[in-house]
């Protein structure tokens, strides 16, 4: 390498990996002119990211000299390189002089460093593509889904590296408080707010039924779980149920057809990043001005399969982060994705979400449908949840879910016969005789159950019978 600066490959017509010789030279020249800009480069670049190996060696030498407390100029850097027997290999003293004279100042050094970094990321994408292609051509022990999953993990790592050195978007705390910002938007407060919500429960619990109710309520401004919904544009990705099953389930709800007009149902949809891109296109194409609601049934169908040897937490987090990031792009967007809970019982309901904590870490809100004995409990929470009560009792009647009040553990765990007596008292029954006739139980059985309920503090005796303690 001679004293003159390296020429670019633009005129050669060769297809070379992405790089900018000029940007690399400008970074090095700027550092030799002004050591105070060293952090601008060191926080963005590593020596390995230079396309030209000699430039990487010079950059490392500059960093070593400055890191040791010295001044990095043409002479000191050349001496450092000479001590490692690579002074002449990188072009010698004359090339270092040419670098220092190639830029008028170091004012744009950070931008030059970002260009070098960006090209390094692009080369990484090309290398990953080559590796994936090789895997696909020679696939023997790996399935297509495993190869794709590994590729997505690699792309995710490259994406994180690309984002790592973006200019800070921080703000002074006082300025933040002075900003006028819209309050969080809700389709149905407090249960369905903007952002990504996970609806999880055991298989065949009725999660999709609950979402069909929400679809109807959000489309026409009806009630959901006892709360009035705002009207929304609804997209329902029914990736678990086919057309015939969805039609049958909707028919059983006996909803007037006009109250479902405008709801978009899709039964096939791309996975992961491609699926998010298609959602983005749908969101941009809306013209009604109503807030959007997207329901995805289910996470397992939408995400890519986890890889056999990957970081499971990172993959779970990445799977939901794609949707969470989409929500940040569109104010008022609510995305609900359906998922399963585990069979294990935990004191913390969130721990029952199937998968790693990567899933719960990446979502904004959650609704958990939990089955306890023959009772159903809805546990709600997340970043937007500001209510003291988080647990509610659900009851399924005639194929629909109703929220019947706050969850009462003592009521939920009681034997069915006691629960039946309590329900009758709550609906107006007062006397032992009425309870005997309604339940078919003997007088002694009813008397015993009433005493048990009174001992639990659930009922109280009146002059003319019994009443529920509310």
Give me the phi and psi of 179, to 5 degrees please: -70, 140
Instruction: List, for residues 420-467, the tens digit of each pLDDT value.
Output: 888 888 888 889 998 988 889 898 888 898 898 888 888 889 888 888
User: Same domain, yes or no, for 108 and 227?
Assistant: no
Give me the phi and psi of 266, to 5 degrees please: -130, 135
> What are the residues whose beta carbons fall under 8 Å from the beta carbon of 216, sequence distance 6 or more?
222, 253, 255, 259, 260
Range of the domain at 449: 416-468
CA 185 to chain centre: 18
Q: What is the pLDDT of residue 455?
A: 85
- Would residue 174 count as lying in a domain? no
User: Same domain, yes or no, for 292 and 158?
Assistant: no
User: In the predicted model, is pLDDT for residue 370 greater than 70?
Assistant: yes
User: Same domain, yes or no, for 371 and 424?
Assistant: no
User: In the predicted model, is pLDDT for residue 169 greater than 70?
Assistant: no
User: Same domain, yes or no, for 420 and 397?
Assistant: no
User: Same domain, yes or no, for 402 and 447?
Assistant: no
User: Same domain, yes or no, for 127 and 272?
Assistant: no
pTM of the model: 0.62
- Would residue 175 count as lying in a domain? no
Query: Average pLDDT of 30-52?
Result: 92
Are 376 and 370 spatial neighbours (Cβ–Cβ below 8 Å)? yes
> What are the residues whose beta carbons fall under 8 Å from the beta carbon of 360, sequence distance 6 or more?
198, 350, 353, 366
Give CA–CA dist 398/2, Å, rounded: 85
Give CA–CA dist 305/146, Å, rounded: 7
Task: Please give, one letter per residue, the 3-state secondary structure of 183-213.
Answer: CCCEEECCCEECEEEEEEECCCCCHHHHHHH
- Runs of H (alpha helix) within 363-412: 409-412
- Would residue 171 count as lying in a domain? no
Closest C-alpha among 222, 297, 212 to residue 253: 212
Are 22 and 108 spatial neighbours (Cβ–Cβ below 8 Å)? no
Q: Could you list the beta-strand ranges (E) of 95-191.
A: 186-188
Instruction: List, for residues 358-367, the tens digit of each pLDDT value.
Output: 999 999 999 9
User: Same domain, yes or no, for 80 and 212?
Assistant: no
> Residue 453: which CATH number?
1.10.10.10
Are 91 and 1 spatial neighbours (Cβ–Cβ below 8 Å)? yes
Instruction: List, for residues 179-216, the tens digit of each pLDDT value.
Output: 888 889 999 999 999 999 999 999 989 999 999 999 99
Q: What is the pLDDT of residue 14?
A: 63
- Would residue 98 count as lying in a domain? yes
Residues in the chain: 470
Give CA–CA dist 435/417, Å, rounded: 11
User: Same domain, yes or no, for 398 and 458?
Assistant: no
User: Same domain, yes or no, for 402 and 427?
Assistant: no
User: In the predicted model, is pLDDT for residue 11 greater than 60?
Assistant: no
Give CA–CA dist 90/31, Å, rounded: 16
- Would residue 22 count as lying in a domain? yes
Give me the phi and psi of 348, to 5 degrees please: -95, 110
User: Same domain, yes or no, for 221 and 359?
Assistant: yes
Q: What is the pLDDT of residue 332?
A: 93
Task: State how many domains the chain has.
Answer: 3
Give the relative orientation of helices 53-67 and 74-83 as an angle to the nearest 10 degrees.
100
User: Same domain, yes or no, for 116 and 241?
Assistant: no
């Amino acid at each position: 390498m001679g004293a003159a600066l390296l020429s670019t490959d633009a005129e050669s017509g060769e297809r070379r990996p992405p790089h900018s010789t000029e940007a690399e030279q400008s970074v090095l020249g700027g550092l030799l002119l002004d050591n105070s800009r060293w952090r601008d480069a060191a926080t963005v670049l590593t020596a390995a990211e230079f396309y030209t190996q000699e430039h990487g060696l010079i950059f490392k030498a500059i960093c070593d000299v400055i890191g040791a407390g010295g001044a990095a100029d043409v002479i000191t850097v050349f001496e450092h390189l000479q001590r490692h027997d690579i002074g002449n290999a990188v072009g010698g003293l004359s090339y270092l002089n040419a670098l220092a004279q190639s830029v008028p100042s170091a004012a744009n050094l950070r931008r030059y460093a970002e260009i070098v970094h960006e090209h390094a990321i692009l080369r990484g994408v090309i290398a990953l593509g080559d590796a994936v292609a090789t895997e696909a051509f020679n696939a023997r022990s790996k399935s297509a889904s495993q190869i794709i999953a590994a590729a997505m993990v690699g792309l995710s790592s490259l994406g994180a590296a690309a984002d790592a050195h973006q200019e800070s978007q921080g703000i002074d705390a006082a300025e933040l408080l002075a900003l006028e910002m819209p309050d969080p938007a809700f389709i149905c407060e407090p249960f369905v707010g903007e952002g990504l919500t996970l609806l999880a429960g055991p298989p065949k619990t009725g999660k999709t039924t609950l979402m069909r109710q929400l679809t109807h309520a959000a489309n026409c401004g009806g009630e959901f779980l006892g709360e009035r919904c705002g009207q929304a544009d609804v997209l329902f990705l029914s990736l678990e149920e086919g057309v015939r099953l969805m039609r049958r389930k909707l028919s059983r709800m006996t909803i007037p057809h006009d109250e479902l007009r405008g709801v978009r149902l899709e039964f096939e949809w791309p996975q992961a990043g491609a699926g998010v891109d298609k959602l983005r296109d749908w969101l941009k194409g809306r013209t009604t001005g109503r807030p959007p609601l997207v329901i995805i049934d289910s996470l397992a169908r939408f995400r890519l399969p986890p890889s056999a040897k990957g970081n499971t937490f990172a993959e779970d987090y990445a799977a939901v982060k794609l949707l969470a990031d989409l929500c940040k792009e569109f104010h008022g967007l609510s995305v609900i994705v359906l998922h399963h809970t585990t069979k294990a019982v935990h004191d913390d309901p969130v721990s029952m979400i199937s998968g790693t904590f990567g899933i719960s870490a990446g979502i904004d809100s959650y609704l958990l449908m939990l089955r306890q004995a023959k009772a159903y409990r809805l546990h709600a929470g997340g970043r937007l949840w500001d209510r003291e009560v988080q647990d509610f009792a659900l009851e399924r009647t005639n194929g629909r879910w109703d929220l019947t009040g706050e969850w009462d553990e003592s009521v939920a765990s009681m034997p069915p016969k006691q629960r039946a007596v309590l329900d009758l008292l709550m609906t107006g029954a007062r006397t032992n005789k009425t309870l005997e006739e309604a339940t078919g139980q003997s007088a002694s059985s009813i008397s015993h159950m009433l005493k048990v309920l009174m001992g639990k503090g659930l009922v109280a005796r009146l002059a003319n019978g019994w009443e529920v303690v509310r």
